[in-house]
């Protein structure tokens, strides 16, 4: 069902900063589906990794500010298009942001991997209600980590902010230990602790709905807040 949903969405979406689905191939013998996309030579994960390696070797190699500005502008333009068409991506991270190589689209950003994408007007399930998978929490908004049942496009904007910071520093801003396990539990103590260390613990006046989050009792217990 996930592949069918992704195919249906991609066939409707047409934007220069959203990956273009060229063809779909079905293998009846082994019941597999193959998707053919435009070829992208790079993704932000590898670009950031290159600059992180240079930084580790004490070489003054940073992503040029002009390039960062262009990349973020294109990501925001693509996400604005998705949101305008009632689509939440829900899994934005550097590995899902492709960058075209040689050719007329050189430097063009393509938002990819719509496997977690959902329509606004469809009943949204929290990510934890999907099949348990190994996921990276570094780009997840706090409301998702607290098990929010209803959320908005703000979760995509949060992820873009994380990507922005990573492009500037070559390091994930909310990097923390990741358990290499499959889990359906959205709550992640270490990830929340890292966010609070950087941003500060959210007060009721700053986040009015925090006490309504399903995992708020666990949060209060773990961080000894009332």
- Residues 107, 43: Cα–Cα separation, whole Å: 11
pLDDT at 35 over 90: no
Q: 0.85 exceeded by the pTM?
A: yes
Give 40-61 pLDDT, tens digit per residue. 999 999 999 998 887 667 776 7
> Of the given ranges (67-81, 89-103, 165-179), which has the lowest mean pLDDT?
165-179
Contact indicator for 118, 88 with CB cutoff of 8 Å: yes
Range of the domain at 44: 2-223
The residue annotated as part of the active site, out of 30, 38, 43, 91, is 91
Give 87-121 pLDDT, tens digit per residue. 999 999 999 999 999 889 999 999 999 888 888 87
Residue 77 catalytic?
no
Report residue 42: phi and psi, to 5°: -130, 165
Instruction: Residue 131: give its domain's CATH number.
Output: 1.10.510.10
Tell me the pLDDT of the chain averaged across its residues.
Answer: 86
- Number of folded domains that form the chain: 1
């Amino acid at each position: 069902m996930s592949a069918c949903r992704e195919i249906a969405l991609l066939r409707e979406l047409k934007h220069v900063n959203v990956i273009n689905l060229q063809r779909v191939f079905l293998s009846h013998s082994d019941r597999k589906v193959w998707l053919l996309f435009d070829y992208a030579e790079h993704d932000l994960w590898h670009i950031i990794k290159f600059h992180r390696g240079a930084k580790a070797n004490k070489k003054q190699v940073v992503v040029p500010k002009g390039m960062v500005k262009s990349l973020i502008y294109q990501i925001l333009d693509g996400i604005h298009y998705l949101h305008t068409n009632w689509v939440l991506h829900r899994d934005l991270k550097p590995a899902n942001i492709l960058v075209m190589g040689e050719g007329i689209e050189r430097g063009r950003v393509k938002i990819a991997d719509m496997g977690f994408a959902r329509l606004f007007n469809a009943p949204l399930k929290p990510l934890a209600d999907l099949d348990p998978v190994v996921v990276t929490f570094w780009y997840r908004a706090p409301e998702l980590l607290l098990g929010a049942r209803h959320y908005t496009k703000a979760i995509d904007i949060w992820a873009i902010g994380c990507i922005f910071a990573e492009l500037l520093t070559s390091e994930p801003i909310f990097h923390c230990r990741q358990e290499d396990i499959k889990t359906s539990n959205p709550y992640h103590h270490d990830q929340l602790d890292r966010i609070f260390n950087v941003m500060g613990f959210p007060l009721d006046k700053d986040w009015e709905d925090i006490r309504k989050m399903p995992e708020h009792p666990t949060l209060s217990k773990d961080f000894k807040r009332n």
